[in-house]
Amino acid sequence: MQTINVAVVEDDARLRRAVTEALESSKDCHCVGVFPNGTTAIARLPALAPDVILMDINLPDIGGVECVAQIAPQLPRTEIIMLTVFQDPETIFKALSAGAHGYLVKPVMPRKLLQAIREIRDGGVPMSPGIAREVIDFFRRPAPPPAPNTTADDAGLGAREQQVLESLVKGLTYKEIAGELEISIWTVATYVRRIYEKLHVRSRSEVIAKFK
């Protein structure tokens, strides 16, 4: 059985202890580092290169989202799970766009936490049910009515949005776009929705029809 090296970034001492005990009680997880704040985590995590990071979103110095934004580019093979009490869509998508791969709402039972770690190690995307619903609802929201004369220049797409648009027209999948631009799939999805809204389209086929 392959050991999963896990690091914990959490400012609540009691919760840090509970998470650490849960990790060390498991047969396949090993805690390689525990940090009470973002500053220390950012400085030390790159050298540890854990398989999974459990990241509190509400840290006392540097917020968890900013920590993820700084750490994720340095550790492209590390999976990051947010642990948070926040369930609003804006916070969720800020975290996912920064580079997080999972999002769990506290409190999390030890069994569920270990299950999430194994799931993300195996390529899954662990999310609390309420969070998954927020994500689904976000992408189900209808786009504005079509405006055929809108062009990429007229819509004011940013440089990164232009890159994603070009990849969409080429027919690349979200995963391929993420790999090509070295960003997360969630970030790609966020860019795509912004593109749809700015161009007043509802689907990839409409984008291709307009720009092919």
Check residue 162 and give its pLDDT.
Answer: 87
Q: Note whether 102 and 116 are within 8 A (CB).
A: yes
- What does the mean pLDDT of the chain come to? 84
95 pLDDT above the threshold of 70: yes
38 pLDDT above the threshold of 80: yes
φ and ψ at residue 105, rounded to 5 degrees: -95, 130
R_g over Cα of the chain: 19
Q: Strands, DSSP E only, in the chain?
A: 4-9, 29-35, 52-56, 79-84, 102-105
150: confidence class by pLDDT, cuts 50, 70, 90: low
Check residue 143 and give its pLDDT.
Answer: 52
- What tokens appear for 181 in the block? 């631009």
Check residue 136 and give its pLDDT.
Answer: 63
Q: Which residue has the higher pLDDT, 173 or 146?
A: 173
Q: Domains along the chain?
A: 4-131 (3.40.50.2300), 152-211 (1.10.10.10)
Of 29-43, 68-82, 138-152, 157-171, the range with the lowest mean pLDDT is 138-152
φ and ψ at residue 11, rounded to 5 degrees: -85, -20
Model pTM greater than 0.85?
no
151: confidence class by pLDDT, cuts 50, 70, 90: low
